[in-house]
Amino acid sequence: MQDLKDISIVIPLYNEEESLPELVTWIEKVMLENKYSYEIVMVDDGSNDRSWEVIQSLHLKNPNIKAISFRRNYGKSAGLNVGFEHAEGKVVITLDADLQDSPDEIPGLYKMITEEGYDIVSGWKKKRHDPITKTIPTKIYNGVTRRMSGIKLHDMNCGLKAYRYEVIKNIEVYGEMHRYIPVIAKWAGFKKIGEKVVQHQARKFGKTKFGGLERFIRGPLDLLSIMFVSKFGKRPMHFFGSWGTVMFLLGFIIVLIMAGQKLLAEYNGHRMPKIAENPLFYVALVLAIIGVQLFLTGFIAELVSRNAPDKNLYRIKQKLGSE
């Protein structure tokens, strides 16, 4: 933790050539006014416009800018994950590159981390400049996430967030999990999570680059995945093995009951159909088969989890200002 800058600003971006100069100028103004030592970590997620050329020109003017360029588009989670790996600030601020997140909110977020002791502070865009097709599903997902995770945030997916340095170095953001970073952090042991009402700017250039209608389908699946991986990622046998054992024992018990009934009937001189002619026998057989399959799944998952690499690998094309 020696010689860390006050603030690292991590900006994942995709095709944002128009907004980058204004965004950097805005950030520089805020940093200068508050006398922060800082760095800007830009992650170009395989843009096919002039975003990288713009970043290179900005880097020449401001050596505090570091940048990473992916060879192809991986998504916002990949951009954040790699940005976190390269961040070297005591407080890490994330914001989107489209000028909808205001850098003027940075001092307030910084103080909540350094003075009030929060691990994470999430922005809450109480008044949004988004179409109703985006705001209504967002409210539904935020409500579901609050109930399932126990984290009382109004805007889980807000791109404007502040993190203590230790948080971003102890979590991994992969797949489409950027929507639920507070949930990931909570399961990693960082439980002081707060929020701050922030200003939401209307989009100035183009249209949204990250996400689309498919995010409304992926959202609940991502949340279920996080909840499962957080609890059972390193011990999948506890989940699959437990359910497999229950299913197998249930099937076995049904067969025992059927066999007992038949023996009792035969002992009393009553004729009963063969066990294999009873539909319950096939229910018991299916339960036993599913139980064995779940147990084997847990065993295989345990082997995979113990041999899986710790980090996702992204193909980086170029870097600026980074060793």
Quickly state the pLDDT bin for 115 (edges 50, 70, 90).
very high
Residue 169 has pLDDT above 70, yes or no: yes
pLDDT score recorded for residue 2:
56
Residue 221 CA to residue 211 CA, distance in Å, equals 15
Reply yes or no on whether the pLDDT at 212 is more than 80: no
Q: Specify if 242 maps to a domain.
A: yes
List the CATH number of the domain containing 40: 3.90.550.10
Q: Does 34 share its domain with 162?
A: yes
Determine, yes or no, domain membership for 145: yes
Question: What is the span of the domain harbouring residue 296?
Answer: 236-307
Contact call for residues 181 and 171 (beta carbons, < 8 A): yes
First-to-last CA distance in the chain? 18
Of 232, 258, 280, which residue sits at a domain end? 232
Boundary residue ending a domain (232, 267, 294): 232
SS3 assignment, position 205: coil
Question: Which of 299, 317, 254, 187 lies closest to 262 in space, CA to CA?
Answer: 254
d(Cα 177, Cα 225) in Å, to the nearest integer? 9
In a domain, 115, yes or no: yes
| Residues 147 and 245 occupy one common structural domain | no
Question: Pick from 116, 108, 120: which is nearest to 163 by CA?
Answer: 120
Q: Check whether residue 165 and residue 27 sit in a common domain.
A: yes
Closest among 211, 2, 181, 21 to 97, alpha carbons compared: 21
Domain assignment present for 320: no
- Same-domain check for residues 196 and 72: yes
Taking 60 as the threshold, does the pLDDT of residue 6 lie above it? yes
Residues 45 and 128 in one domain: yes
What's the number of domains the chain is made of? Answer: 2
Rounded to 5 degrees, φ, ψ at 249 are -65, -35
Q: Does 117 fall in a domain?
A: yes
Does residue 212 sit in the same domain as residue 259? Answer: no
Question: Which H or E run includes 259?
Answer: helix 236-267
Measured over the CA atoms of residue 46, residue 320, residue 40 and residue 24, the dihedral's sign is negative
Weakest-pLDDT range from 41-50, 128-137, 283-292: 128-137
Question: Is 245 found in the same domain as 180?
Answer: no
User: Does one domain contain both 226 and 278?
Assistant: no
77 three-state secondary structure: helix
